[in-house]
Homo-oligomer: A and B are copies of this chain.
Amino acid sequence: MRRGAAKISQYNIEGKELQAFLGPLETNIIEVVWSSKQPLTVRDVYEKLKRRKRIAYTTVMTTMDRLYEKGLLDRRVEKGRGGVLYVYWPKLEEHNFKKTAVHEVLNSLVENFGDIVASYLVERISSEEKEFKDLKDKLEKALKGKRG
């Protein structure tokens, strides 16, 4: 587990998009950080999230610390009104994170179950070609009918 890479250890089959990899709150937080043009403090993120739902400042803080520990966020220390504080930014932009995570799942699947993955793909591509062919046949019949 290299320090630079995001640590994703599991894929949640029922999760939608990012929530296949992250918890609900982690997902909300990282989306806020991705949307920002500059690094954000915990307070920044907290102010945005509290508009949607009641949440404690320390909940946001703990979860951002955890995203940092998991390698999805990076941070530096700054000085401000509250003393020393962290300023966070994403380690990878959204598309790169998704790409890396999906690749990790697929690599693991291929390594563990290469033959099953291969036959799934062959089956899937054949199925789609069949649908294309069916549609093509129908179209050809329809055109013949018009001319007939």
Contacts and interface: CB of A to CB of B under 8 A. Distances in A.
Contact of A116 (B98, B112, B117): B98
Contacts of A121: 121
Interface string A80-104: 0000000000000000001100111
Q: Which residue, A13, A102, A113, A116, has most C-beta atoms of chain B within 10 A?
A: A13
B120 A113 contact: no
B8 A10 contact: no
Interface stretch (A14-22, A28-36, A57-65): A14-22
A127 interface: no
A103 B120 CA distance: 7
A9 interface: yes
